[in-house]
Structure 1
Amino acid sequence: MSEFLLVFRRDYKTKEIQPSPEKLQEHLAHWQVFFTSIKDKVAKPIQRFDPLGKIVTGGTSTADGPYAEVTQSIGGLVIINAADYDEAAAIAQTCPVLELGGTVEIRQAV
C-alpha cells in the first residue's frame, strides 16, 4: 500500500453556481457517506481548509488567494492508503465534490 493525497477543489466564488442552502445540506450529507465509506483507507486525519487563503510570491508580496486566473480553490484534503493510482482514482470518482463541478487531484507520496 502507498499513501495518496486527494485534494478536493471547487469553485467557491462564482455566486451563480453555488448550491442553495437545501442543496448544500444534501451535499454535506453525501460527504459524510463518502468519508464513512473510505474510513478504512484514511492514512491521516481528514482536514478541511478555508477556500480563500493567501498567495505569497517573491519578496514581501501577499495577495488573497487562490490565483486570480483560477476559479477553483482547495476545500479540503485527505491522505489515503491505496494499492496504486487506479485504486486511488476509483475512490476519488466517488467524491461528492464532483457533484458540484469540482475536481479531485491525486498525488502519490514518494
Structure 2
Amino acid sequence: MKKFIALFREPDGRADQHTENAIKAHRENWAAWMKRWQQQINGGSGLTLDGRMLKAPQAEVIHDVYKNGTEIVGGFLLITATDLDAAAAMMQSCPIFEFGGYIEIRELQQQ
C-alpha cells in the first residue's frame, strides 16, 4: 500500500449560508463516509482560518492564510491505497463536493 495526502480545497465557509438542516446532513454524511473508509484513513484534520504565510526568510510575516479568490485549504486526510487511481476512487464519494469543495490527492514521497 502507498501513502497519500488528500487536500480539501473549498470556498471560505464564512461567505456561504447553509440551513441548519443542510449543515446537519453534511456532518452526518462526513461521519458515515469516514466510518466507511476508516481502515484506509491514517490521520487528518480540518484546519482553522487562523494562519501565517512566510514568503522569504527575512520577509514580513503575513497574518492570513493562502486564498485563491475565496478558496482555501480547509483540511486534509492521510490515506493508504494501492495506487493514485485507487485513492481517487476512494475520494469520489467524499462529502466535500456537497458544499462546492474539491480534492487534490498526492502521493507522499518515500523516505
Assess same fold via TM > 0.5: yes
Q: Corresponding residue for 1:53? A: 51
Where do 5+ consecutive residues of structure 1 fail to align?
A: none
**Deviation per residue, 1:27-60 (Å, 9 max, x gap):** 01111011101101112x2322114533222212
> Identity across aligned pairs (percent)?
26
Please report how far the alpha carbon of residue 70 of structure 1 lies from its aligned counterpart in structure 2 after TM superposition: 3.1
Match of residue 69 from structure 2: 70
Residues matched between the structures, number? 107
**Quick one: distance in 2 between partners of 1:51 and 1:34?**
24
Q: When the two structures are superposed, what TM-score results if normalisation uses the length of structure 1?
A: 0.85
Q: TM-score of the superposition, structure 2-length normalised? A: 0.84
Partner of 1:7: 7
Q: Which runs of 5+ in 2 are unaligned?
A: none
Partner of 2:105: 106
CA–CA distance in structure 2, aligned partners of residues 61 and 91 of structure 1: 37
Structure 1 ranges of 4+ moved more than 4 A: none
